[in-house]
Amino acid sequence: MGVETKILEEVVIKFAGDSGDGMQLTGGQFTNTSALFGNDLGTFPDFPAEIRAPQGTLAGVSGYQLNFGSKEIFTPGDLCDVLIAMNSAALKVNLSNLKSDGIIIANISGFDVKNLKLAGYDKSPIDDGSLEGFNLIKMDVTKLTRDAIEDIPLGVKEKDRCKNMFVLGFLYWMFDRPMENTINFIQSKFSNNEDVREANLRVLKAGYHYGDTTETFTTRFHVEKAKMEPGTYRNIMGNQAVAIGLVAASQRSGLPLFLGSYPITPASDILHELAKYKNFGVRTFQAEDEIAAICSCIGASFGGSLAITTTSGPGMALKAEAMGLAVMLEIPLIICNIQRGGPSTGLPTKTEQSDLMQAIYGRNGECPMPVIAAKSPADCFDAVFEACKISVQHMTPVIFLSDGYIANGAEPWKFPLTSQLDEIKAEFAKPLENNEKFLPYQRDEKLSRPWAVPGTKGLEHRIGGLEKENITGNISYEAQNHEFMVKLREEKVNRISDYIPLQELDNGPEKGELLVVGWGGTYGAIKAAVKELLTEGYKVSHIHLRHLKPFPKNLGEILNNFEKVMIPEINNGQLVKIIRDKFMIPAIPYNKIQGIPIQKTELIVKIKELLQ
């Protein structure tokens, strides 16, 4: 029986299994291999907050969705073409997200009596005909894995840990992918453990050969390289891009990098990543709590370092008072908030854009800070670099917003080289001789004050959180002065709009019926939806905001060019309120608050509705 190869433009695969089944790693490997092959792609890891939720339960299902193609990819995809279900629970959780003619690869031993019961199935869905219409591939991954490494002296538990490699090998066969990348990965990851290394390698190959030699599989799929902008690419995850962006900002400013952070999901990976870069002079300080994390940064910044604190919503709340201090001190500081579902502990591993109000307004007093948001994993690099630039050049703390979705998601990145990156100009106050009086709150045309670091002769001065007199920095409780200073600090932040690029249209006509305004991680879905609608002849445009405070100067003008403005957000409507307030337009919200990204298809439905 011959094997037919079908050419596909785009495929969505969901790897789903128990938290301990290694689905994140399997998905990550398939992603890297596809990226190196030259596909465009988008990924979405989706895992429970529990490290090891009870095995076999619905709560313990960990998923990794990958969308790859020979065309431009903007999202991890809506519905899946292929679902890997390592157990019954994984099938139950993900089945509704599978295309009606999709492929299910089911691990038989994950559908035994115990697993079925844990997932709440009365009968086995892989045997009772209920999956009719889907292309169901049943394989006993557990048994096949054990058989492949029977002679390797490892315990059953350790052997079973290799079963994700069997699935990966099979998928490499099915999608006509080389195994080299994963072979190299296994060799380096397990370089110190021969048995585990050998077992993983053998199981990977066994999976591949299973597809090759078992005559039951008649179709393979091939996804050609994507036609992307020429250049050199690498695969990058959002948090990784933040870390590299921060190192780049440190190098391009000549300022030593200091990270003060307290572990919190989904921001911790930035701390992990930066802790590796000691040879770049990076100092990482794992503080005792969120407050100490930001306060240590204030100390480091006072001393002349590029100081960063990374956190997520609950940590952001704890840092609020110290952010106010940084605003009063007028020193550089970057607060990275990798948003997650809230309030309180909320949904630690799920994505949400619900800290925008907190970022813009969430402090005591009139406390303006610039806010910048990244739109995709690779964009995290540029956005955080720009956050550093604004912070240093305008002497102000800056909030950088990302979210769980782009933090853990990956995409191809046409990375820049050092020479293509802007220089960040840090201006330090010069030493003073002959008892000349230093004026710490003397301002330049940007309204920013000098960065006067300890150790510089003649600059001895005292600053703090109390209201101060402009220029001298002396404490002042004078009525008129306070109003003046509040307005001055606001104007200083607003003036940044003179130094940032004008807002550009991402897609669609410059004027018309409907403008979709997005910010942050909804970019891919909006981009894909608008693109598709434009090819179908609909009149719709898209802008995506990186600068949320201050807004680009031409934003009002753009908004006024459209009859309707729609704002999709993964929250209960936050940017929409700010836009309504600032521009007095009846912007229309589209909100999804389920801890998952907005999908292209639902946006298309909503946009069509508005265009009627």
Partner 1 sequence: MADILIPDALELKLSPKDFQTDQDVRWCPGCGDYSILKQVHTILPQLGLKKENIVFISGIGCSSRFPYYTNTFGMHSIHGRATAVASGLKATRPELSVWIVTGDGDAMSIGGNHFIHLLRRNFDVNILLFNNQIYGLTKGQYSPTSEENKITKSTPYGSVDHPFNPIALALGADATFVARSIDRDPAHLQQMLLRTWKHKGASFLEIYQNCNIYNDGAFEIFTEKATKKENDLFLVHGQPLVFGNLEDKGIRLDGFTPQVVSLTNGYSKDDLMIHDENDINKSMILSRLYEMKSEEYIFPKPFGVFFIRDRSTYEEVMNEQINTSVGKLGKGDLDKLLIGKENWIVE
d(CA 514, CA 250): 41
> Rounded to the nearest whole angstrom, what is the least distance from the CB of residue 374 to partner 1 in the complex?
17
Nearest to 267 by CA among 246, 283, 252, 249: 246
465 vs 509 by CB, closer to partner 1: 465
- For residue 368, which phi and psi values (nearest 5 degrees)? -75, 135
50 vs 469 by CB, closer to partner 1: 469
d(CA 388, CA 526): 27
> Rounded to the nearest whole angstrom, what is the least distance from the CB of residue 276 to partner 1 in the complex?
9
- For residue 336, which phi and psi values (nearest 5 degrees)? -100, 120
d(CA 383, CA 389): 10
70 vs 349 by CB, closer to partner 1: 70
> Rounded to the nearest whole angstrom, what is the least distance from the CB of residue 189 to partner 1 in the complex?
13
20 vs 38 by CB, closer to partner 1: 38
DSSP per residue, 509-563: -SSEEEEEEEEGGGHHHHHHHHHHHHHTT--EEEEEESEEESPPTTHHHHHTTEE
104 vs 179 by CB, closer to partner 1: 179
Query: Tokens 């089911």 identify what position?
Result: 106
Cα separations (Å) of 20 from 101, 472, 477? 29, 60, 59
d(CA 330, CA 547): 20
Contact 83, 94 (CB under 8 A): yes
302 vs 551 by CB, closer to partner 1: 302
Buried-exposed string 517-546: b where 16+ CB fall within 10 A, e elsewhere: bbbbbbbbbbbbbbbebbeeebebbbbbbb
79 vs 421 by CB, closer to partner 1: 421
Show the tokens assigned to 27: 């998905």
Amino acid at 281: G
> Rounded to the nearest whole angstrom, what is the least distance from the CB of residue 166 to partner 1 in the complex?
24
607 alpha carbon, distance to own chain's centre: 25
Cα-based angle 155, 161, 162 (whole degrees, multiple of 5): 105
30 vs 166 by CB, closer to partner 1: 30
460 vs 483 by CB, closer to partner 1: 460
204 vs 326 by CB, closer to partner 1: 326
- Strand order of the β-sheet with 333-339 is 283-286, 257-261, 306-311, 333-339, 397-403, 371-373, 547-549
